[in-house]
Amino acid sequence: MGEAITTRISHWTTKCLSYAGRLQLVSSVLMSMHIYWCSIFIILASVIKGVEDLCRKYLWHGMNSSSKGGLVNWSNLKKLSFWGITKPNDASWSWRQMVNIRSKIESFFVYNLGDGSRFSFWFDPWANGMSLVNRFPEVDIMDTDIDRTATVNSLWRNRSWHFPDPFDDYTLSIWDYIKRKFEINPLRPDKVLCKPHDDFSIKSSIMDKLHTRDKMLKWGVIHSNSCCFCNSKTETVDHLFFECDYSKAIWRKLLVDMNFNRDSYHWRREVSSLVRRTKGKSKIARDRKNTFCAAIYHIWRARNEKIFNQNLMKEGMLVALFVLVQL
């Protein structure tokens, strides 16, 4: 996998890409290769780290640079919670993007309160899955006399909570809520766990984020949004993966292989139909899931091959590739 990514990065056309171009390549091609392999095999953590290193280096410096990323003033940053950082007007583009995706990734984490030394009192979602500022949106932090950077354990002494005198009844209700529901356990460190999500829902949201030509035309990056396979319809996710004759021919063959005797559906229906039929850990469920992921990945790859190298992969060849993948 590392080799495949290095080959892709070192191709001459990718060497002179701008930062925006490299970002596009990493998010649409390199990351989808990575996700594809991870959805089929259990990959060693060291391999994933290596791939992420490659992508990161390429994103920031291009291929031929050995320099490292810019250093972050960590001692300043670590006092703040990721969930509580406000977006300064002069923040870099990448920093603004990270701040923007917070609401989308919040539900992936579970904060288990232990000794309270790592969690931000106001901003980390340690209070039954929510942060205090979200649970009590009318609170004015300045009035409570508890600093924005305070950790949870700074309010705990001698086995009980010690809060400043409440400014009003609303603040008093917050202190009561915490006293009733939570305790600090000094012997157990705070833990942040990643919640498993249904992998199909993740994959379909990834597909929604693919930079198809309809979106790129809206951003003014390209001048035509027509599908590279049929040249007649607009390239949307629905069209590219399910409605175009090119993809339909692939699906028809694969649906027969998966013992579904029908034409392909609209893609959202296709995903929900597959979610229902691929539940469980049986071999057939696993094979169907793999086939679906492989089809999406290879159609996207064939599309990039056509656009960037003017090379049209025949549908039959793609189907043969899927079969090889599954052996």
Residue 249 found at the interface with Zn ion (CB under 5 A): no
Q: Considering beta carbons, is residue 52 or 263 the nearer one to Zn ion?
A: 263
User: How many residues touch Zn ion (CB under 5 A)?
Assistant: 5
Q: Considering beta carbons, is residue 146 or 299 the nearer one to Zn ion?
A: 299
DSSP 71: P
> Which of 47-55, 158-166, 196-204, 230-238 is the region at the interface with Zn ion (rule: CB under 5 A)?
230-238
Closest CB 241 distance from Zn ion, rounded Å: 10
Residues 6+ apart with CB under 8 A from 219: none
Residue with tokens 């080959």: 7
Residue 111 found at the interface with Zn ion (CB under 5 A): no
Beta-bridged to residue 127, according to DSSP, are 130
Closest CB 299 distance from Zn ion, rounded Å: 11
Q: Considering beta carbons, is residue 149 or 234 the nearer one to Zn ion?
A: 234
Alpha helices in 182-281 (DSSP H): 199-209, 213-218, 237-238, 245-257, 267-277
Structure tokens at 143: 């009035």
Please identify which residue in 83, 111, 119, 229 interacts with Zn ion, judged by CB under 5 A.
229
Residue 227 found at the interface with Zn ion (CB under 5 A): yes
Residue 244 found at the interface with Zn ion (CB under 5 A): yes
Closest CB 212 distance from Zn ion, rounded Å: 11
> Which of 171-179, 199-207, 232-240, 302-310 is the region at the interface with Zn ion (rule: CB under 5 A)?
232-240
Structure tokens at 247: 């993809």
> Which of 110-118, 221-229, 278-286, 312-320 is the region at the interface with Zn ion (rule: CB under 5 A)?
221-229
Residue 58 burial (CB count, 10 A): 22
**C-alpha 164: how far from its chain's center?**
40
Closest CB 283 distance from Zn ion, rounded Å: 34
Which is it for strands 191-194 and 156-157: parallel, antiparallel or unpaired? unpaired
Closest CB 239 distance from Zn ion, rounded Å: 6
Structure tokens at 117: 């030394």
Distances (CA, A) of 253 to 30, 248, 264, 292, 295: 27, 9, 10, 12, 11
Q: Where do contacts with Zn ion occur on this chain (CB under 5 A)?
A: 227, 229-230, 233, 244
